[in-house]
Structure formats: C-alpha cells, structure tokens
Structure 1
Amino acid sequence: MLGDYYSKKMSGYGDTGVQSYMEKRLTDLHYASVDSVKTVKDKVLAFFMGVFLVVILPYLHLGVFYLMIWVPDKPEIDRKSCSCNCFDTVFRGRYENPGKTPYKHIYFNSTKTSLKVWIFTVFFVLMGYESVKYLVPLVRRGVVRRSMLALYLVNLYPQYYSWWSYFNYYNEEFFNYYYHHMFFTLTEIAATCMVLNLCDLRNEINSWKILFIVTINAVHILVASMDQFLVHVFLGLGKNFQSTRDIGLMVPDLLHIIIPVYVLHQHARKKELTFFQMCTREEIGIFFVFVTLGVIIGRFV
C-alpha cells in the first residue's frame, strides 16, 4: 500500500515535469519560428528595397532629370538608318564584325577600360545594396536612429554622382579630376560607414564618432568651396547645371555637420553635460589638425 502510494506520487511529479518541459520546448519553438519568419521578411524586403534603389537612381538621373528637364530638346535617333563603326563587336562573337554595325541600345567594347567601368559599377551597386540590407531590419524593428537615417538618404546623390563621374572618366578617358575626386569618394565612404553605425540605436553616441563625421565633411566643404562652389554659386559664374550640381553636393556636407552636432548636443543634455564637456581637448585638437591636413591634401591631390 505504502509502496503504491509513493509510486503514484513520484509518477505524478514525473508527469508534471514532462509536461512543463514540453510546454517550454513548444514555447521556445514558437518564438524561434516567429524570429525566423521576421528574419525571412527582413531579407526579402531588404532585397527588393536594394534592387529598387539601384534601379531607380539611374532612371531618375537619365530618364527624368536629363531626358525631361536638362536636355528635352535632343532629337530622336533613326534606328533604321543609324550605324556605329567604332564598335569592336567582340561581345557579339561571330554574329557581327567591326564596321557599320546596326543600331543597338547598348554598345560596349571589350577592353581593359570597360572592365574598370564594370568593377566600379559592381562596387557601388553592392555598397548600395548592402547598406539597404543593413538598414531595413533596423527600420522594421524600430531600432533606427532617424537623424542618421536622414543623413544616409541625403548622401545618396553624392555617392551616385561619384559612380557616374568614374563611369565617365573611364568611358571618355578623361582623368584630369580623377584623383581629386577619389579623395572625396574615399572620405565620403568612411563618413557613410560611421553614419550607418549610428543608424542603429543600440550603438552608443560617442563624441569621437560625431567628430569623425564632422571632420570629413568640414574638409569637403572647405575644399569644394575653394574648388568651384564660391565661383559657380556665389559669384554666379557657373552655368545653371553646374550651380545645381554644386548645391546638390554641398547641402549633404552641411547637413553632415549640423545634424551630428545637434545629435551630440541632445545626447549631452540627457547626461546633463554641455556640448564641450562631451568632447575632450585632445579630440577637439585632433579635429582641427585633421581638418587642416585634409584641406591641404584635398587641394593638392
């Protein structure tokens, strides 16, 4: 009797333990599946958003701004009578030979320069895609820092302009401004990487991160002003498209100073500190040193 009693009691404890274990496992499985679904949705949405970005920018550039606004008076091409005699036809294989080849939407010669154009294109496309892939989950999960997301968005034009410039440098073999532009591109990419880091609310705002962004864009503003901005815009000696381009490149640089400084100021207020208490003397000194060096390098490169 006593043995049966203990046996039943222990069996009850065992059933309760198994039930608790199964409930826990099912709960874990449920949340794991929910997280998995969220991850899949993030990846799918990021893919389509990335594709949209790299597709829409050239369309807005050539299909809208150029075709409809800047040069709407360009005559249409007669596709039946036109021909091209500087097309090497390599990518056409045995189907065509050099000469007066008929109309095609895209011609390209199989040269080392064409490969360089392709390398730059792939590099910029992947940068755009990967940045969107990084940002989409942050936005969907509500952990994006909106001020930094705004900086990323306003910097799309300068990044796209860089790709288009390199495309034309190589395509036309005109390299007068190549290394000067490369200076802007590399420093711009570095600043964008820091902006992307701060887009995540979980990444803490630090004075050195803010000064990193501000330093680079202060250099851009000073060098660009000495290059052509003052002459084209303030003195009015540039053509309309040159002034528009210069303003389009200058505004993101200005915002990359104004917004980060404001973000650091707000961060300092939350900690009941002043803006300059957030920055050490060494950081401020380094800021002026790097701005000076950046301007010197930017002017002479």
Structure 2
Amino acid sequence: MPRPVMVGVDASQESRAAAVWAAREAERRGVPLRLLHVWAWSPPGAPGNASRPLLAGRVLREAEAHVRAVCPGVPLVAEQAEGPASRALLGAAGEADVLVLGSRGLSVLTGFVLGSVAQAVVARAACPVVLIRAGHGVDDPQGDDLRHAGPIHAADRDVVLGLDLNDPCDELIDFAFDTARLRNARLRVVSAWSAPSALTLGPGEVGLIDGPRRAEEWRGFQDAVLFTWRDKYPAVSVSGDVVEDRASAALVRAATGAGLLVVGRRTPQEPHVGTRTGPVTHAVSRHARCPVAVVPHC
C-alpha cells in the first residue's frame, strides 16, 4: 500500500492551509491523504477529558470538509491521537511519504513562528516535512485556494532547490526533481558560495583564483552534480544559479514567488536527541515566503 501524505490538523487557519496543500500533493502523487489531530494528554480524571475526543472529531470533520471543497476525489482517512504532539507526529511520520504542518505567520521583519512541536518534528522526522503558512499565494484558507486552484496537474510555480555543493545529497536532489516533475514545474537550483579567508585555504583550492573565475568553477561543480539527474528526469526543465552570498539569504530571495523551496536536514546520529536543523534550514523555515520542504539525509 502506498505511503500517504499526512497532515497535522487543528482549528487554525494555518492548519487548514496545510490540509489543502497536502490534499493537492496527495492527488499529484496518487496516494491517500491522512488527516491527524493530536489532542493534549492529561491525567485520568482531569477536567475536560471526556470532551477532548469530541472536540477532536469536530476539528477533523471541519478539516475534511475544507479538503473536499478543493479535492473532492482524494482518498482520505481522518484520525485522532493522544499527545504529546511531537511524539504522535513523529510516529506518524514514520508511516508517511510526506508530512505537512502549518506554521504561524508573524511579519515581514520578524519572520514566522516555528513552534516547539514543529521544531522537534522537522529535526527528527524520518520523512520530508513541508511547512505551510496561511495568507500568501496558493492554499490560502481565506479563499484564494478555491478561486485559484486550477487543474491539479497544471503548470505550477517554480520549485527551488537549495543545493550545498560541498555536500550534495542524493535524497534531497531526488525529492526536488521528482516534486518538480509531479507539478510540471521548472526546477531552479540555487547554490551559494563565499570567498574563503586566507586561514581556510588549502593548496590548489578554488579560493586561490579571482572572483569571476571562482564563480565559474562553482558553476562547473553544480553542472557536474546535476548531470545525472537531468538524465534521470528528462521532462524537468532545470536552471542553475550560483551566487556569492550567505546561503540563507540567497535562498530566501530565490523563494520569493516560488511554489516550494526544498532544503536538507542532516539526520542526527542519535535520532531521539535534539531539535537542531542547521542554521540555513532554520533561517529559511522562518523567513521564506513560500512553502518549505525539509528533507532528511545522512
């Protein structure tokens, strides 16, 4: 049985946006959609215990109705689970193709909230995690998701891949190419580099040449990394960009107007310890103005 696209749902606008995005993704992938609501654990006999499953059922019914308005034909399962939320979502991620979560918007200056539960899930999930915000572009629960939905297989906005040329990862590249293929979208590959200091250079390194030639060397590295992937995905239109800048700044800039930004997250040696995702992934998760997919890799 194919692994589902899973989405964590609650009563928030961000959750509804995430549910719609997840439904469209499930339809693209030809897999079921699984809605999961996690309600907080409390000691036996605590006030409100009896009503929690009833409230969870209401949240799930509302999420299902919202999804059906956009993707009426997607196979759907709605489930509830008792918390802690991060533990329940991480367990669900082990059975999912992709896990989708809503993230709360703040402002252009301060970025976006990635709460403690989402941080833990993004840092430790076994599958790619996609973070969705409400209010910008497609999948807006205020109505844009219905007015601008269009055919599910129509050309979508660009998929942007943040590719570290010092550590290219097959899982990350494959996810980005396959996502672009499913969306019939162009894939834009963005790699950032910075001029090394005299303390970090070794003999014969790229940093020994001048700026323009150094940039050409990095472009050659990127082309070499992408060569076999272009052959594997001949239908995907690919463009590459190598910029001299901090990686987080370059990716946030490239993600403006994109349909999805794809970045990587190294799998920790101890899978049950820590919530760190790395500085670049943390920064783009907060500041990119489009959905962000975080792909685990070794």
Q: With structure 2 as the length reference, what TM-score do the two structures score? A: 0.26
Which structure: greater strand fraction?
2
> If you compute each CA radius of gyration, which structure gives the higher value, 1 or 2?
1
Report which structure shows greater RCO (CA 8 Å, sep ≥6): 2
